[in-house]
């Protein structure tokens, strides 16, 4: 990662207060093997988790109060499950190139945008509630399949009322979503689907009532599995999200 970083240190997983830094989980790069972080809490004024690599898993992690992305995923076949991001610029972000990244049973609330998608992502059983711009923003290069989720109360500051904003110019699918009303996406109290740049977001089915099986229940902190390098980085260098 070059200059601007302190020496690499091994990380056992617990709590980190990062006043002006981000926590970089550098996995699956060269000699590094896939790793798993469970029960890790990051708070501070910049980005949270910046994961580079493939086949890594973040489980039951928490990122709060960062101006960048709470979880910024760069690579392929990574998974983020049972995790929560609040008070960030983006709750969860996928940055290309990469494929096969999945998000399951995650919660994004009180961020500028719940999910910021710049590469393919599969999103299921998530709760995206009360994010200022939108629940999900699909950017150029992004592709998204979303299902079995709660998306409502978003677009409060714009005010756009957009549960999903699709800027990608491609197709996206959102199925079995509770949009804030029994009738599906639309005006308040529901969230809307907002397509731009020739994009098309298909809603083949809706969920008439909120899903109740989506929650964040912190686990006891555990030591991460696998070999993983963690660095405390300069927030002004690189794609902090």
Nearest to 127 by CA among 109, 102, 145, 142: 109
Cα(238)–Cα(234) distance, integer angstroms: 8
Tally Cβ neighbours within 10 Å of residue 130. 17
Nearest to 22 by CA among 166, 230, 163, 195: 230
H or E element at residue 101? strand 101-104
Tally Cβ neighbours within 10 Å of residue 9. 9
The number of CA neighbours under 13 Å toward the Cβ of 186 is 5
Name the pairing type of β-strands 84-86 and 62-64. parallel
Residues with Cβ within 8 Å of residue 189, at least 6 apart in sequence: 152, 180, 181
Which token pair is 204?
A: 């083949």
Phi-psi region of 197 (alpha: psi -120 to 50; beta: other; left: phi over 0): left
Domain ranges of the chain: 7-90+216-232, 107-215
The per-residue pLDDT for 223 is 42
Cis previous bond, 66, omega within 30? no
Nearest to 235 by CA among 74, 19, 27, 12: 19
Cα(36)–Cα(56) distance, integer angstroms: 6
Cα(184)–Cα(83) distance, integer angstroms: 26
pLDDT tens-digit profile, the chain (241 residues): 332 332 223 333 434 444 334 455 544 444 455 677 778 888 876 778 888 888 888 999 999 877 889 999 999 999 999 999 999 899 999 998 899 999 999 999 999 999 999 999 999 999 999 999 999 999 999 999 999 999 999 998 867 899 999 999 999 999 999 999 999 999 999 999 999 999 999 999 999 999 987 666 655 444 444 444 444 333 333 333 3
């Amino acid at each position: 990662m070059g200059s601007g970083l302190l020496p690499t240190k091994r990380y056992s997983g617990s709590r980190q207060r990062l006043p002006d830094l981000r926590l970089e989980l550098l996995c699956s790069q060269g000699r590094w093997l896939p790793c798993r972080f469970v029960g890790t809490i990051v708070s501070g004024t910049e980005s949270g988790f910046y994961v580079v690599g493939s086949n890594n898993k973040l489980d039951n992690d928490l990122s709060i109060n960062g101006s960048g992305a709470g979880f910024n995923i760069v690579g392929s076949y990574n998974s983020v499950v049972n995790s929560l991001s609040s008070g960030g610029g983006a709750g969860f972000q996928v940055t290309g190139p990469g494929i096969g990244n999945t998000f399951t049973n995650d919660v994004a609330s009180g961020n500028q945008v719940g999910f910021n998608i710049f590469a393919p992502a599969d999103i299921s059983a998530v709760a995206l509630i009360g994010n200022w711009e939108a629940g999900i923003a699909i950017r150029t290069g992004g592709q998204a399949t979303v299902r079995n989720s709660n998306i409502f109360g978003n677009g409060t500051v714009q005010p756009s009322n957009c549960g999903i904003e699709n800027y990608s110019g491609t197709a996206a699918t959102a199925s079995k979503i509770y949009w804030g009303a029994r009738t599906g996406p639309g005006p308040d109290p529901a969230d809307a689907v907002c397509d731009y740049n020739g994009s098309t977001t298909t809603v083949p089915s809706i969920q008439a009532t909120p899903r109740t099986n989506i929650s964040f229940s912190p686990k006891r902190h555990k030591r991460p599995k696998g070999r993983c390098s963690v660095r405390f980085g300069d927030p002004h260098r690189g794609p902090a999200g």
